[in-house]
């Protein structure tokens, strides 16, 4: 989390279950304070990623409930693509186009491993279309825009990651070269797609390649990335 001076401060506990009662009360309390447009979510990131949500209030905001998965941001953190993962007061969007002002705060254990997350998603859509005097409350201008995918199944999250990676490659699978497929696999790996149960199986089927070829391409992509990020 960030303190008053903007420094990143880790909150430590060995598991979310250690403070489950308090954290669940915190979820309920924050939601009660800010009303039914404020979704508050507690993730246990030691659980399988397809069912990390262990407490949620006002789940109608993103259409999620207990037992649903985390978002792409949590996957990226678990994959090691970000340092702490904590993001405060960023703007994102739901599948049906509603604008959210969000914060995601991660909990680490004594070894520095991520074990949980507390996320707040406040629906500011109506405020953004209201009179100009409300803009200071919304605070959307100049805020960081973050692509975050809210889903109700981990399969849906994987589909979104595959679609995003294909858009970045810019070609349909039918005309992709080996290099294109290696790039797409590398992009998916960076987003944490291989951390999803049966993620490799689904990616291989989508690219129409065998499991052996998939992991061969994955290793080639890692080697190329290592060469590009090396000295010089």
pTM: 0.68
| DSSP structural state of residue 144 | P
Q: What is the pLDDT of residue 120?
A: 96
- Domains in the chain (CATH in brackets) are 11-149 (3.30.450), 157-228 (no CATH)
Q: Could you give the percent of the chain with pLDDT greater than 70?
A: 82
| Those residues with Cβ within 8 angstroms of residue 203's Cβ, 6 or more apart along the chain or in another chain | 158, 162, 185, 188, 193, 194, 214
What is the spatial distance between Cα 212 and Cα 60, in angstroms, rounded to a whole number? 42
Q: What is the pLDDT of residue 6?
A: 46
DSSP-derived pairing of the beta strands 99-108 and 11-12? parallel
| DSSP structural state of residue 70 | -
What is the spatial distance between Cα 53 and Cα 66, in angstroms, rounded to a whole number? 5
Residues 84-109 have pLDDT tens digits of 668 898 888 888 888 899 999 998 88
Query: Does the pLDDT at position 228 exceed 60?
Result: no
Residues 165-214 have pLDDT tens digits of 988 898 888 888 999 999 999 999 998 999 988 899 999 999 999 999 99
């Amino acid at each position: 989390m960030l303190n008053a001076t903007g420094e990143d401060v880790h909150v430590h506990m060995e598991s979310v279950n250690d403070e489950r009662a308090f954290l669940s009360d915190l979820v309920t309390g924050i939601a009660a304070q800010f009303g039914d447009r404020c979704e508050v979510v507690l993730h246990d990131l030691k659980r399988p990623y397809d069912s990390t949500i262990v407490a949620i209030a006002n789940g109608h905001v993103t259409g999620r409930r207990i037992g649903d998965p985390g978002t792409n941001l949590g996957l990226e953190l678990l994959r090691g693509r970000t340092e702490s993962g904590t993001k405060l007061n960023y703007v994102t969007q739901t599948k049906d186009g509603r604008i959210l002002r969000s914060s995601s705060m991660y909990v680490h254990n004594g070894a520095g491993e991520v074990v949980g997350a507390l996320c707040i998603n406040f629906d500011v859509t109506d405020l953004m279309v209201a009179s100009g005097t409300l803009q200071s409350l919304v605070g959307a201008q100049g805020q960081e825009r973050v692509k975050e995918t809210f889903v109700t199944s981990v399969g849906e999250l994987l589909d979104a990651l595959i679609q995003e990676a294909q858009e970045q490659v810019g070609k349909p699978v039918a005309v992709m070269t080996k290099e294109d497929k290696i790039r797409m696999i590398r992009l998916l790996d960076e987003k944490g797609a291989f951390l999803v149960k049966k993620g490799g199986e689904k990616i291989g089927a989508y690219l129409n390649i065998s499991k052996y070829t998939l992991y061969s391409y994955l290793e080639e992509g890692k080697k190329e990335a290592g060469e590009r990020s090396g000295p010089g």
